[in-house]
Amino acid sequence: MDYAQSMRPVAVAVVIALVGASAGAAEHGKMPHRPVPLHFTCADALEDGTLIDGGQAAGLTKVARMLAWPDLGPPPPLPPRDVRLFCGPDIDGDGERDAIVRLAFDNPDASQSTIDAEQLTYTWLASKHAGTWRALGRLTADVSGDRDLEQTVVFVRRPSGQYGIEIERSSFASETGCRITGYEIMAWRAGALATVEAGDRSPKCAPCGCNP
């Protein structure tokens, strides 16, 4: 069975469910101010996330396989197509800077492993100690390559001054053709990553065929 194809309906359902849940939570109050994405520099990666030392890719992939991925399942048993590391602040307060790691894997079906092939993307938060990366927690796992599904994961600073990670998900609602966009912000709570805020950023939209 095609690994990515079998996992895609699960990933799509997860995105829609999370967007819908966050939209419902925002209906009762004013839309919150969107935090400005933060960008940091470090010796491990370039601004676009490219690793300075490509040899770190194997270690990061090994750590990702040690995490539980209940929504999409574990990364497939092959080397990742792309490894990106986005340097950030100290999220867990241990004095070391942390980083968002994104691993993209091709569909295990080699006939679909092209530049535009559907990919499985695993994103998690890492911390480096004594030259070794360890996982602070998973952030999201999705099927990429579908134009109807978009996702961004960035560092932000919350109004309280605490650093956090914002995950924004966007998809078209099949009933109306309108785009729905939800977000959640994760921060360090009681020794683990936890969702501390969620809401709706869906743009105003008239159902298809109803625009003047």
pLDDT tens for residues 94-133? 898 899 999 999 866 545 545 456 788 999 999 988 888 9
- 110 is a domain residue: yes
Q: What is the DSSP string of 61-117?
A: HHHHHHS--TTT-SPPSS--SEEEEEE---SSSSSS-EEEEEEEEE-SSGGG-STT-
- 200 is a domain residue: no
Residue 25, pLDDT > 50, answer no
How far does CA 203 lie from the centroid of its chain?
A: 21
| φ, ψ (nearest 5 deg) of residue 27 | -65, -20
Range of 36's domain? 3-147
Report how far residue 117's alpha carbon sits from residue 145's, in angstroms, rounded to the nearest whole number: 7
- 186 is a domain residue: no
Q: What is the pLDDT of residue 208?
A: 56
Report how far residue 149's alpha carbon sits from residue 122's, in angstroms, rounded to the nearest whole number: 15
- 176 is a domain residue: no
Tens of pLDDT, residue by residue over 128-143, are 888 889 999 999 998 7
Q: What is the pLDDT of residue 34?
A: 78
Residues 6+ apart with CB under 8 A from 28: none
DSSP state of 204: P
- 173 is a domain residue: no
Residue 74, pLDDT > 50, answer yes
Report how far residue 74's alpha carbon sits from residue 28's, in angstroms, rounded to the nearest whole number: 37
Tens of pLDDT, residue by residue over 26-57, are 333 345 577 888 989 999 999 999 999 999 99
- 170 is a domain residue: no
Q: Total structural domains in the chain?
A: 1
Residue 174, pLDDT > 50, answer yes
- 197 is a domain residue: no
Residues 6+ apart with CB under 8 A from 189: 196
Helix/strand/coil for 171: strand
- 42 is a domain residue: yes
- Tell me which of 211 and 194 has the higher pLDDT: 194
| φ, ψ (nearest 5 deg) of residue 72 | -105, -15
Residue 9, pLDDT > 70, answer no
User: 175 with 156: CB under 8 angstroms?
Assistant: no
Report how far residue 212's alpha carbon sits from residue 207's, in angstroms, rounded to the nearest whole number: 11
Per-residue CA distances from 120 to 5, 30, 102, 197 (Å) = 10, 35, 10, 26
pTM check: above 0.85: no
